[in-house]
Amino acid sequence: MDYIHIKDMEFYGYHGVLEQETVLGQRFRVTLAIAVDLQHAGETDDLTDTVSYAEVFEICQKIVEGKPYQLIEAVAEHIAKAVREAYPVAVKGIRVEVIKPDPPIRGHYREVAVEITRGDF
């Protein structure tokens, strides 16, 4: 299987269970690995034979910067579903990581994140 990786897309959203998260918002990073057969696209050099990185970025942006969810698990699930629906034939599987670099948690840590995998990987 071949993979398209789109790493560390950064957006600003209002997801969380705490009031300050839904009022002030915060940064989110999204990393994707998309399982897709890239051989034909490599041979034809035609964008229509693969997955458009720009379109996938826009899908992620609309979800992260759109409707607020309480859980980043829900954000990840909606991203996975939307990308698979946009490319139902090409996308065999997807791994989505949603990262909160600065959640309002007391203590020392680099970030908190969830990672989900849907489909064949």
pLDDT (tens digit per residue) in 80-120: 999 999 999 999 999 999 999 998 888 989 999 999 999 99
Q: Are 14 and 68 in contact (CB under 8 A)?
A: yes
pLDDT (tens digit per residue) in 22-38: 999 999 999 999 999 99
Q: To which residue do tokens 């600003």 refer?
A: 12
pLDDT at position 121, please?
87
96/49 Cα distance (integer angstroms): 22
Could you give the 3-state DSSP secondary structure of residue 108?
coil
* Structure-block tokens of residue 36: 């897709």
Kindly report the pTM of this predicted structure: 0.95
pLDDT (tens digit per residue) in 41-70: 999 999 999 999 999 999 999 999 999 999
pLDDT at position 104, please?
87
Kindly list the structural domains of the chain, giving each domain's residue range(s) and its CATH number in brackets, ordered by start: 2-119 (3.30.1130.10)
pLDDT at position 12, please?
98
Catalytic residue among 7, 62, 81, 100: 100
100 part of the active site: yes
pLDDT at position 45, please?
98
Task: Give strand ranges (E) for the chain.
Answer: 2-13, 26-36, 93-100, 112-119
